[in-house]
């Protein structure tokens, strides 16, 4: 981590547990927690699905970029759960890597599918007729891998519960 700031970004595919784990990590470390999708949704007064439908993915990615710049300028200590595509556009991965601690959560396919099954209708990239979830997730990871793997810390998870302790153990040298 280049700066003295204590900003932690969590990256990973949708359903990896970034929001769940991020909130627990923030509480444990005494930092506040931010969720980029939640912030954008609140500021735009619409769901992420609606933003994708009405304004398009490119407009959403521009909102993510503007939010990243704002977080890096205004925050000094926080844990940030990013959307799955957040590090993959507008050189966001490099910006995060240069200015904060980045942790990539690589969840097993089984964990991703389990976490996503009940919320497919609320995920704009998944809410498509005939979508084969397992195949989509594999292809998506392959296409985003180079961005995800720029992280300072890579963590593989099979369950959310094992993730928290493992992440705290990995963070100890940084705090």
Query: Which domains are delineated in the chain?
Result: 6-169 (3.40.50.300)
Are 108 and 156 in contact by the 8 Å Cβ rule? The answer is: yes
- Which pLDDT does position 1 carry in this prediction? 44
Proportion of the chain above pLDDT 90, given as a percent: 63
Residue matched to tokens 């928290």 = 164
- What are the b/e assignments for 97-136, b being 16+ CB within 10 Å? bebbbbbbbbbeeebbeebbeeeeeebbbbeeeeeeeeee
Cα–Cα distance, 78 to 6 (Å, whole number): 7
Angle at 15 between CA 130 and CA 43, to 5 degrees: 100
pLDDT digits (tens, 9 = 90+) for 109-158: 888 888 888 777 677 778 778 888 889 889 999 999 999 988 999 988 87
Residues 6 or more apart whose CB falls under 8 angstroms from that of 144 comprise 13, 84, 85, 87, 88
pLDDT digits (tens, 9 = 90+) for 57-91: 999 999 999 999 999 999 999 999 999 999 999 99
Beta-bridged to residue 104, according to DSSP, are 11, 154
Compute φ and ψ for 126, nearest 5 degrees.
Answer: -105, -20
pLDDT, the chain, mean: 89
Please compute the mean of the pLDDT values over residues 25-38 and round it to a whole number: 95
Please compute the mean of the pLDDT values over residues 14-31 and round it to a whole number: 92
């Amino acid at each position: 981590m280049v700066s003295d700031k204590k900003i932690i970004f969590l990256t990973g595919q949708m359903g990896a547990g970034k929001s769940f784990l991020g909130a627990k990590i923030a509480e444990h470390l005494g930092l506040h927690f931010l969720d980029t999708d939640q912030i954008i949704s609140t500021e735009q007064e619409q769901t992420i699905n609606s933003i994708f439908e009405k304004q398009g993915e490119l407009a959403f990615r521009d909102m993510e970029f503007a939010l990243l710049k704002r977080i890096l300028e205004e925050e000094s200590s926080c844990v940030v759960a990013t959307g799955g595509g957040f590090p993959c556009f507008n050189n966001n991965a490099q910006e995060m890597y240069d200015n904060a601690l980045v942790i990539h959560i690589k969840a097993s396919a089984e964990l991703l599918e389990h976490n996503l099954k009940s919320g497919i209708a609320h995920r704009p990239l998944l809410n498509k007729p005939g979508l084969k979830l397992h195949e989509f997730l594999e292809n998506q990871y392959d296409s985003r891998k180079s961005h995800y793997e720029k992280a300072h810390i890579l963590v593989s998870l099979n369950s959310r519960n094992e993730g928290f302790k493992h992440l705290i153990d990995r963070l100890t040298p940084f705090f």
